[in-house]
Chains A and B, each alone.
Chain A
Amino acid sequence: MEHGILSAIVWTPFLGALVLLLMPTRNENVLRWSAFVLSLVPLLLSLRMLQLFDPAVGSLQLSENAAWMPSLGVNYALGVDGFSLWLILVTTLLLPIILVSGWHDIDKRLKEFLFFMLLLEWGMLGALCATDLFLFFTFWELMLFPMAFVIGVWGGPRRRYAAIKFVLYTMAGSALMMVAMVYVVLRQAAATGKLSFDIVSLYGTPLTYAEQLACFAAFAIAFMIKVPMVPLHTWLPDAHTEAPTGGSVDLAGVLLKMGAYGFLRFALPMFPAAAQDAFPWIMLLAVVGILYGAMVAFPQPDMKRLVAYSSVSHMGFVMLGLYAFNTIGITGSVLQMVNHGLSTGALFILVGYVYHRRHTRQISEYGGLWGIVPVFSALLLVVTFSSVSLPGTNGFVGEFLILLGAFRAHPWAGSIATIGVVLGAGYMLTMFQRVIFGPVTNEENRALHDLNAREVWALVPIIALIFWIGLYPNPFLRRIEPTTRVLLERLRAAGATRHLADEDRRVSPTAAAAALGASPAHAAEPAHPAEPAHAAGGAHP
């Protein structure tokens, strides 16, 4: 087993950032090209990691471990499993895409912008790879600041407000998480006589129910802010709207996923009993988020704000699938995180393209673009389809699995969430229609020039992945599923089975895998209404 690959992935962006900062040039093209090349290094390394990754293993692999603060039991420990694998790849993939797509976007302090983007990538990768709670917390806090700088220095007119709101929300959440973290570690030390921040050993911490509940609440609030779940979401529309395109892409693509990832990695396995009993609340907030996000997105006049609220809705789906507590739902959630990162990232990039040309994001300023900028319109169409989960695109696979899982576990939640799918199609297609179709209402738009080769090529990888995941998701699901199974086993072993769907206990792993493998076949058909009823019957024998 080749070791050190994760360290290389995490630290190359940091080294790249330093190299960039120390480069004695102000020549913008030199800076852009160097940043682009530097951003390819972690991408290539993470592809190598994908190659080394053993899909059959569900637990952490490619692990690294070194003592960091021995007296506290803090280690520098990295590892990867099915939950983090694809998110790491999305992170490393998005940065080169951001740099290429926004080649000319940044007109001031370019060097610092590129520096902060690389630093941000470092923080996100560190948080995704860390398997030591302390190390995770360090990166979790660290990644806030590059993002805040990107929003605050290069953002829109209300950028400073958005930046400070973003930081304060997250910090308030993580403050309590820190206390809970210390508490759990001390309890674990009291039981074993050894201080350790190692995640896997913390999974078995003996906590009373009340302790679990308090600690779960502290962790869950920190993660719910990041997801974000209603009603802790209000920082997101501001941050998204004010951030420059690159910032929005990273924010939607990776940062939001940290919340859901935190649930999977920490909140659920560390506090299984409390986590399962919190289910009515989380479900409620997830469903409310899905509907609320969709309904608020509808009337937004600003494209970016609309996409931001759609994120609230989409992340609600992710949380819904996660809390289905069955293989299908959780696997679908993890895939949907990747999907949302790709499609929302692409949406922000496309909005950025027109914004760069016209300096407005108001939907009412556009109309009839199909005849003027056909390439742009076609790309927007594909990405919109992915976002509304049209069969054949990645969004469908993810959302379908989530709903399937949710129906099996909690039919009522699944049914209500389905309304969100319809609403999602509603607001996205309405936006598409108002921007692309109809007569040209604004004469200025006639002068728009279509996307150039650079702008198109930047999106090609995302478009390819949208169809790849949409048509043949197995390579992706195959690597997520074993980890889901490990998590569910852990929950079951801890007795957190009250809300686990019955089918999961009865159906053998192979059969469940077959169900997953069959999902692309389902993708070809329209979603049939018989499914929920059947699943509901299964859940209540």
Chain B
Amino acid sequence: MIQVPFGTAEWQSIAPFSLVAIGGMIALLWSVFAEERPGTTSVMWMSQAGLAAGLAATIALLGSEKASFGGTFAQDGVSLLANLVFLLSASMTMFMAQGHLESMGVRAREFYPLVLFATSGMMVMGAARDLVILFLGIEVMSLAAYVLAGIHRRDPGSTEAALKYFVLGAFATCFLLYGIAAFYGATGATDYDGIRAGLASAPRAALIGGVALLVVALGFKAAIVPFQAWTPDVYQGAPTAVTAFMSVGVKAAAFVGITRLFLDGLGPLHLDWQRILWVLAVLTMTVGNVLALVQGNVKRMLAYSSIAHAGYLLAGVAVGTSRSGGAVLLYLLTYAFMTLGAFGVLIAMGTGEKPNDELEDMRGLADRRPLLAGAMTIFLLSLTGIPPLAGFVGKLYVVEAAVSSGWFWLAILLVLNSAVAAYYYLSVIIAMWMRDPVGDEPAWESRPYLAAALLAAAVGTVLLGLFPSGTLDFARHAFASIVR
């Protein structure tokens, strides 16, 4: 048994996710036990404070890279940037949900604490350098996410989404545990340093089996083809704010977990997993894009588009260099801004009675709400990958990493895929700008928090696209110490 130290470094490294979790608990208890039942706004602000505390603790670690708990829990540049993505998506989700859930008839104060719990799970995933800790993070995140998907209790779609997600998620957990067991059996360790050391003498069949099992389990969380079947139904059924959170936060956490596992823990195995991930990446982006082409519902279309983006991200992982790791991390940040923004616009479209998320509903939006249509146009163009928006630099760096390692076909298939994707993103733009509106104008609701979140997302999308240098350098530098 390894002697696990517990000193200042350990306290510091668990501070970010603990503070978020504690913030969630306080908000939850307060919303239940307060003298007067507090309004959702105050719970929301209280939860934001929890996120802010987590952010402060994260930033405090900047510059002092530590591996704590005997190297099984890392507080390095990767987890720092990952934490930023998680906190950003949680915070934006909460702002966007404010007013949106109420208008759907969901008076759920527990929504905000649940988002915090999920976030703290993600932060554990982002820092995990041990399969068991990774497992703990995944489960903390997932349990909260299952509840979030079903938060609209009276809506059959939301309940179905929760059930599907839960059953399939439980299934994926089995694979994860079997995978962990296979590695433990083969290498005698669950921490990445131990696994790396044991790889050379481990039986090959067990390793390949373990890799396959882990790919299935993490592929499920990240919605990678062919483990994506749950995604469209769950994303469409869940309330849009939850969908946004799942497609950004959950996916990002899964990808940070995958990237760290493969680049760090399984680094020496390169050739075995690279070929698997290569095929899965191309499959994922192609299937996601092709299915997105035929969707008439914008929310569902965005669900498929998020599968396609998972493919681009996986391509970055498959390349397996510190360059590509940095590119994946930057991509996650750009993806967070533009995807949250696009879902935020869909939230703004919805009224109490109707979600208004069909392609038909987008018609003539530029006439009715030019600012909203303008924001959506920015997000969609960024998702398409038009310079100088954030989505373009994300893709560019993945392509650059792939080309610099000689993976030309991967790069070519990636860019061709994004050209296909242009069609469905454009069709929304065309509906908004070039078609006449149908039906009566819905009774829009004014939601200042949502508007602020959309503005922030749009500004982030543009600025990150114009000035990605600093972030990219940081991300690459972070991976340089991991990829050995």
Binding site for B on A (CB under 8 A): 69-72, 112, 137-138, 141-142, 144-145, 148-149, 152-153, 159-160, 163-164, 167-168, 171-172, 175-176, 178-179, 182-183, 186
Contacts and interface: CB of A to CB of B under 8 A. Distances in A.
A171 B416 CA distance: 9
B437 interface: no
Given A153-B434, A171-B419, A138 B387 contact: yes
B433 A149 contact: yes
Interface in B377-415: 381, 384, 386-388, 392, 396, 399-400, 403-404, 408, 411-412, 415
Contact of A71 (B418, B430, B472): B472
- Which of B392, B400, B412 lies at the interface centre, i.e. has the most chain A CB atoms within 10 A of its CB? B400
A178 B422 contact: no
Interface string B417-442: 01100110011001001110000000
Contacts of B70: none
Given A178-B415, A183-B403, A186-B400, A167 B426 contact: yes
A424 B400 CA distance: 46
B419 A182 contact: no
B472 A141 contact: no
A362 B373 CA distance: 36
B433 A152 contact: yes
B71 interface: no
A141 B400 contact: no
Given A69-B468, A172-B419, A183-B403, A153 B396 contact: no
Nearest to A144: B386
B469 A72 contact: yes
A164 B426 contact: yes
Given A148-B426, A172-B416, 9 more contacts: A69-B468, A145-B381, A164-B423, A164-B426, A171-B419, A172-B419, A182-B396, A182-B400, A182-B411
17 contacts: A69-B467, A72-B472, A137-B387, A141-B386, A141-B392, A142-B387, A152-B434, A167-B422, A171-B419, A172-B416, A176-B416, A178-B396, A178-B399, A179-B399, A179-B412, A182-B411, A183-B403
B403 A179 contact: yes
A152 B428 CA distance: 13
Contacts of A138: 387-388
Nearest to A173: B419
B102 interface: no
A531 B39 CA distance: 90
A175 B433 contact: no
A178 B392 CA distance: 11
B409 to A, nearest CB: 10
Main SS class of interface, B:
helix
Contacts of B467: 69
Given A172-B416, A179-B399, A186-B404, A141 B387 contact: yes
Contact of A168 (B411, B415, B419, B434): B419
B251 to A, nearest CB: 24
In this complex, the member of A72, A142, A171 whose beta carbon has the largest number of chain B beta carbons within 10 angstroms is A171
Given A69-B469, A179-B408, A164 B399 contact: no
B403 A182 contact: yes
B473 interface: yes
A183 B386 CA distance: 19
B399 A145 contact: no
Nearest to B384: A171
A153 B423 CA distance: 17
A144 to B, nearest CB: 8
A175 B430 contact: no
Given A145-B381, A179-B399, A164 B386 contact: no
Contacts of A159: 434
Nearest to B473: A71
B434 A160 contact: yes
The residue in B388, B412, B435 that gathers the most chain A C-beta atoms within 10 A of its C-beta is B388
Given A141-B387, A175-B415, A182-B396, A164 B403 contact: no
Contacts, number: 77
A171 B434 contact: no
Nearest to A185: B400
Contacts of A176: 412, 415-416
Nearest to A140: B387
A155 B408 CA distance: 39
Nearest to B417: A175
Contacts of A145: 381, 386
Interface in B332-370: 366
B415 A153 contact: no
B482 to A, nearest CB: 19
The 9 nearest A-B residue pairs measured at CB: A175-B415, A138-B387, A152-B434, A69-B469, A175-B419, A172-B419, A71-B469, A71-B473, A182-B403
A112 B366 CA distance: 10
Contacts of A179: 399, 403, 408, 411-412, 415
Contacts of B435: 160
A380 B64 CA distance: 74
Interface in B102-149: none
B430 A164 contact: yes
A81 to B, nearest CB: 24
A247 B411 CA distance: 34
B472 A168 contact: no
Interface in B32-77: none
Contacts of A183: 403, 408
Contacts of B426: 148, 164, 167-168
Contacts of B473: 71
B428 to A, nearest CB: 12
Contacts of B427: 164
A171 B387 CA distance: 12
A30 B422 CA distance: 36
A171 B422 contact: yes
Contacts of A153: 433-434
Contacts of B386: 141-142, 144-145
A145 B396 CA distance: 19
A470 B3 CA distance: 90
Contacts of B469: 69-72
Contact of B430 (A112, A160, A178): A160
Contacts of B387: 137-138, 141-142
B434 A163 contact: yes
Contacts of A171: 384, 419, 422
Contacts of A144: 386
Contacts of B403: 179, 182-183, 186
Contacts of A69: 467-469
Q: Chain B CB within 10 Å — which of A69, A163, A175 has the most?
A: A175
Nearest to A189: B404
Interface string B461-478: 000000111001100000
Interface-centre pick from A70, A137, A167, A168 (highest chain B CB count, 10 A): A167
B128 to A, nearest CB: 29
A138 B393 CA distance: 11
B399 A182 contact: yes
A71 B468 CA distance: 9
A443 to B, nearest CB: 34
A175 B416 contact: yes
A381 B433 CA distance: 38
Contacts of A172: 416, 419
Nearest to B474: A71
B380 to A, nearest CB: 11
Contacts of A70: 469
B393 to A, nearest CB: 8
Interface string B286-309: 000000000000000000000000
A175 B418 contact: yes
Contacts of A163: 430, 434
A179 B430 CA distance: 28
Contacts of B399: 178-179, 182
Nearest to A152: B434
A167 B380 CA distance: 14
A100 B415 CA distance: 41
A140 to B, nearest CB: 9
